[in-house]
Structures are given as C-alpha cells and as structure tokens.
Amino acid sequence: MTTTSIIIVPGWRDSGPGHWQSLWAERLPQARRVVQDDWITPTRSAWVGQLEKTVLAAPHPVVIVAHSLGCIATSHISAEAAERICGALLVAPADPERRAILSDFAPVPYAALPYRSIVVASSNDPFCPIRLAGAYARAWGSEFVRMQNAGHINVDSGHGEWPLGWALLQSLEGDRAEGSAHWSGAVQASPAAA
C-alpha cells in the first residue's frame, strides 16, 4: 500500500482556526503545514522556497492542498520539487495582478502541471474572477470544479469542514492508495454536498 504526505499550503495571511485547511491538518496524521516567516507581506522567493523545502523533506509522494495565494506559490515551484508531487487540490486561487501586496507572484505560470490537479473556484470569489480561475485550470491541465456563490471558499464564506473539498482530496489521495486505511474515519461527501 502506498502512503502519501499531505502538504497544506495556506494563502495570504494564513488559514486560521475553523478554516477547512486547519481542520484537515488536525484530522490528517500525515499532513504537514507550510509555515511562512511573513504571512502579511509575501515574497515569491521566500514563499516558494519554504514550500519547496517542505515538499522535498516529505517522506512520501506529496499531495498538495493549497488555498488562494498558496495555489499560485505551488504553480511557481521548481521541477525538482514538482517531481515529488502526485496530486494537488488548488482551491480559490488568487489573482496577484489585482492586489499590489501579492504582485511579486505575477506573472502566474501558464504551463501544464506535471501531476493530477483539481482547481476549485467560486462564481463570486472577491479575490479572483471565475474566468481567470478557469484560465488557470486550462493552462495547468487541471480538472475544474466551479462552485456557485461560494465566496473565497473560507471561513468567511461558511466553509469550515467543507465536505466537497474533503471528497476531492480523497479522490486525489485515492489515486495513490485505493482503500487506504487512514481514510476510514473520513466524512463521505458527494459533489452535491457543496
């Protein structure tokens, strides 16, 4: 049975208590959370460097769970780090060209990711237009899940446990380890549960 390392990649200002990323980090024993030195004034070199260090140190093939600016940082990682990744859940990607504080992450790479990925975006995300999220998904070769009126898919938009996201993560994890025992206590969800 193959095991994976789950790496949680928060976005700008981190994901606080109650955010689905924080709840999942507590639930998943194999999860590691990327911790940035500066959550408020992000720089691409520091954020991507910390993400790459975390990926390269993982004991097993990696599944990325990124939110917002974490998705963009993931798109910037080196080929060496990308080789360790077997899947990525990229939720509510940011638009670094729309916010000056995030501009160091622009331009966003428009190259296919060398692993299975799922981009999840909302029709009314205040930080990234749905058309742009769809363009990212096409460029990255990602599956695209469009949610209606889900905001930034965070605590403020009512997404705590977020069962749909959990089910999507299970599908990525399942690519590596069908029937793996560490999912036995997981909440089962269907896309309709969004």
Separation CA 53–CA 96 (nearest Å)? 23
Q: What is the pLDDT of residue 183?
A: 28
Cβ contact 5:62 at 8 Å: yes
In the predicted structure, residue 30 carries a pLDDT above the cut 60: yes
pTM, rounded to two decimals: 0.89
pLDDT band, very low/low/confident/very high, at 187 (cuts 50, 70, 90): very low
In the predicted structure, residue 48 carries a pLDDT above the cut 80: yes
Task: Say whether the peptide bond before residue 96 is cis (omega within 30 degrees of 0).
Answer: no
Average pLDDT over residues 167-176: 87
CA distances (Å), 40 to each of 6, 11, 69, 178, in order?
24, 10, 12, 39
Average pLDDT over residues 179-194: 32
CA distances (Å), 191 to each of 35, 80, 105, 167, in order?
30, 33, 31, 8
pLDDT band, very low/low/confident/very high, at 173 (cuts 50, 70, 90): confident
pLDDT band, very low/low/confident/very high, at 130 (cuts 50, 70, 90): very high
- Cα torsion 181, 187, 192, 194: sign: negative
Other C-beta atoms within 10 Å of 122: how many?
24
Separation CA 51–CA 54 (nearest Å)? 5
Average pLDDT over residues 118-140: 98
Q: Which residues contact 134 (CB under 8 A, 6 or more apart)?
A: 119, 121, 144, 146
